[in-house]
Amino acid sequence: MSRRPSRFLLGGRRYSPAASLLLAAPFLLLVAVIFILPLATLLHESLFVPAPTTAHYARAFAEPVYLRVMLRTLRIAALVTALALLLAWPVAWAMSRSRGLGLALLGAAVLLPLWTSVLVRTYAWMVLLQRNGVVNQLLLQAGLADAPVRLLYTEGAVVLAMAHVLLPFMVLPIYSALKGIPEEYSRAARMLGASAWSTFREVTWPLALPGVTSGCLMVFLLALGFFVTPALIGGPQQMMIATLVSQQVREMLDWPFAGALVGILLVFVLAVTIAFKRAVRLDRFVGSA
Amino acid sequence: MALNAAAYAVTVFLLLPTLIIAPMSVGPERLLSFPPKGFSLRWYAAYFEDRDWLRATLFSAEAGLISAVCATVIGTMLALALVRGRLPGKGLIELLVIGPVIVPHIALAVAMFLVFEQLRLTGTLLGFAMAHTVLALPFVVFTLLAALYRFDVELERAALSCGAGPLRAFRHVTLPLIAPGLVSAALFAFIISFDEAVVSFFISDLDRKTLPRKMFEDIDFNISPTLAAVATMLTALTILALLLGFGLKRGLERRARAAGTAAEAGP
């Protein structure tokens, strides 16, 4: 980050290491107490309570109930990522090819949900999908159903609502990748005789890939640990790992096991992050929002 | 063409669920319907008459303001150290900055719950302020890093060579130029705190809870129409905040540009 040494000066000099540390001190102190200490305490519970053991971790993999929750979490996260990618691509593409008012409208449509409370959006989905909700009323009126269909507490509802909530995180990085591709590239490919499909496959897609990877990674990671939407829309029937952790803490008061579940989640998240280290680009969101 | 049509269809999908709540919230009946069967503000009145809702809103606003100020100050100091200083262990610190984004909020929430119980911080403003500051810091730091990298140091040096002291140069040249970044960062931090649901879910207690926690309880136990009114007001507030933030940022950018031109025109 500091390849341009003497440009960033105050009073003509770079800050000394001591002064720099002093500036960073409040951050380090806060993160130590509110981030590192809690996580370390929780993981300590999972490994050393009541005595040094890996039994809590083994239990998560040994009991079918818990294994099923973990597999469901992976499956839902993957489905959410795929659906979000499918929905995000046209929006990102249209944004990258619009100017002025069109871009402003599309941008607003993406940013407004990003900044609207997750609870508001989850609540909206519950109102739409409940037994006598809007969707069921429409289905009945259109004659597509004879009786209200059960929509809430199904895996489909969880995937749909989560994809909706996480969509901006997919659109923004893809948009920023597509924006960087000059329009001449695809025009040139078309003039050279490439079909629309091969232009997409040979030109646009490879150039957009960094954005696509970044978006997929972000959505997948967020989906893995998502709590609010699956807890409310999925209910106990569609329990994901975050809901399981919450249940262990609040109802079973089983801190060591909750700690083990968190440990498994963390190992998985960190492994994926490290594997795709270069795709984790927070600045993409900050820059465009 | 087909892709454009798809884009607008997805846009409708993005906006519709949130926006459809607004007309439903003015329906008079307990069972929300679309289109509403009449017009009534009784669910809005229900919100303003309920002390629990009002207390939760106020508590969230307090936590949001304190976190926004703390995160902006602490984050700016760190960004300055990262950009302009010689920081030992810089790589590790950068890792700590993105930590709260990579680590799932459920993990952090449960971990904080465990420690906050022992420190008697659950349900306290201090606890919420610290937790939300940590969650907002990554966004603040990244916003300010961008602002500081864009900043032309020659301007500050010019002020120095004209006889301004380092602090004066910072206050009159640097600060106005990074002001748009500071405003974005503070707004980010406030919204992150105000909307934060997962950590709040765990570190609230019966007495002191944030608005998202109160909403969570209400959704979980009974989907009352009051929620529709609250959701509508929150969406309106978000639109307002976005417009305000956008306008403020544009204004500050214009001023920053003017200041930059003035400084360049100087000797």
* Phi/psi of residue A288, nearest 5 degrees: -95, -10
Across the interface, which of A14, A241, A280 has its CB nearest the CB of B85? A14
**Alpha carbon distance A25, A51 (integer Å):** 35
- Best B82, B110, B160 member to test A by mutation, with max A CBs in 10 Å, is B110
Residue A104 identity (one-letter amino acid): A
According to DSSP H, which parts of chain A are helical?
17-31, 37-48, 55-62, 64-96, 100-115, 118-129, 134-141, 155-179, 183-191, 196-199, 205-224, 228-229, 241-250, 255-275, 282-288
Q: What is the mean pLDDT of chain B?
A: 89
Residue B181 pLDDT exceeds 70: yes
Q: What are phi and psi of B203, to 5 degrees?
A: -95, 5
A256, pLDDT greater than 90: yes
Region B216-231: mean pLDDT is 87
Chain A residue numbers touching B131 (CB-CB < 8 A):
34
Crossing angle of helices B51-84/B125-150, nearest 10°?
Answer: 40
Over residues A193-213, the mean pLDDT reads: 89
Share of chain B above pLDDT 70, in %: 97
- Is B137 in contact with B72 (CB distance < 8 Å)? no
- ipTM of the prediction: 0.89
Q: Give tens-digit pLDDT for A107-124.
A: 888 988 888 889 999 999
| Least confident piece of the model among A40-49, B139-148, B165-174 | B165-174
Domain boundaries, chain B: 1-40, 51-265
Query: What average pLDDT does the structure give for chain A?
Result: 88
A106/B99 touch (CB, cutoff 8 Å), yes or no:
no
**Does the pLDDT at position A9 exceed 70?**
no
- So what's the pLDDT on residue A287? 44
pLDDT for A3 beyond 70: no
Q: Which residues of A touch B107 (CB under 8 A)?
A: 39, 42, 225, 245, 262, 265-266
Query: Distance between CA atoms of B168 and B162, rounded to whole angstroms?
Result: 11
Assess A271–B contact: CB distance below 8 Å, yes or no.
no
**Total beta-carbon pairs less than 8 A apart between chain A and chain B:** 299
Q: Which residues in chain B are contacts of A262 at CB distance < 8 A?
A: 106-107, 110-111
Low-confidence winner among A172-186, A259-273, B42-56 (lowest mean pLDDT): A172-186
Using CA atoms, how far residue B57 sits from A12, B54, B143, B211, B255, in Å, is 47, 5, 27, 5, 34
Q: How far is CA B235 from CA A69, B17, B126, B211, B248, in A?
A: 33, 12, 27, 14, 20
Least Cα distance to A165 among A102, A234, A248 occurs for A234
What percent of chain A has a predicted confidence (pLDDT) above 90? 57
Q: For each of the domains in chain A, give its residue range(s) and CATH number, in order of start.
A: 65-288 (1.10.3720.10)
- The pair of structure tokens assigned to B104 is 């799932």
* pLDDT at residue B126 in the model: 95
In this complex, do A126 and B223 lie within 8 Å of one another by their Cβ atoms? yes
Nearest chain B CA: its distance from A206 CA (Å): 19
**Which whole number is the average pLDDT over B220-240?**
88
Nearest by CB to A266, from B10, B107, B156: name it: B107
Nearest to B86 among A16, A222, A286 (CB): A16
Please judge whether B102 and A269 are an interchain contact, meaning their C-beta atoms are less than 8 angstroms apart: yes
Cα A183 to chain centroid, rounded: 30
| pLDDT range class, residue A247, cuts 50, 70, 90 | very high
Closest residue of A to B10, CA-based?
A87
Q: Which CATH superfamily is domain B51-265 in?
A: MetI-like (1.10.3720.10)
Range of lowest pLDDT (A67-71, A138-142, B139-143, B188-192): A138-142
**Rounded CA separation B17/A167 (Å):** 14
- Mean pLDDT for B199-214 is 92
Average pLDDT score over residue span A243-258 = 94
A61 reaches B (C-beta below 8 A): no
Asked whether the predicted pLDDT for residue B248 surpasses 90, the reply is: no
pLDDT digits (tens, 9 = 90+) for B140-153: 999 999 888 887 77
**Average pLDDT of the segment spanning A155-172:** 95
Angle, CA B63 vertex, CA B58 and CA B69 arms, to 5°: 125
- The number of beta carbons lying within 10 Å of the beta carbon of residue B120 is 9
Interchain contact, B219 vs A132, CB within 8 Å: no
Q: pLDDT tens digits, residue range B49-108?
A: 999 999 999 999 999 999 999 999 999 999 999 988 888 888 899 889 989 988 999 999
Nearest by CB to B81, which of A24, A39, A115? A24
Count Cα atoms within 13 angstroms, Cβ side, for B155: 24
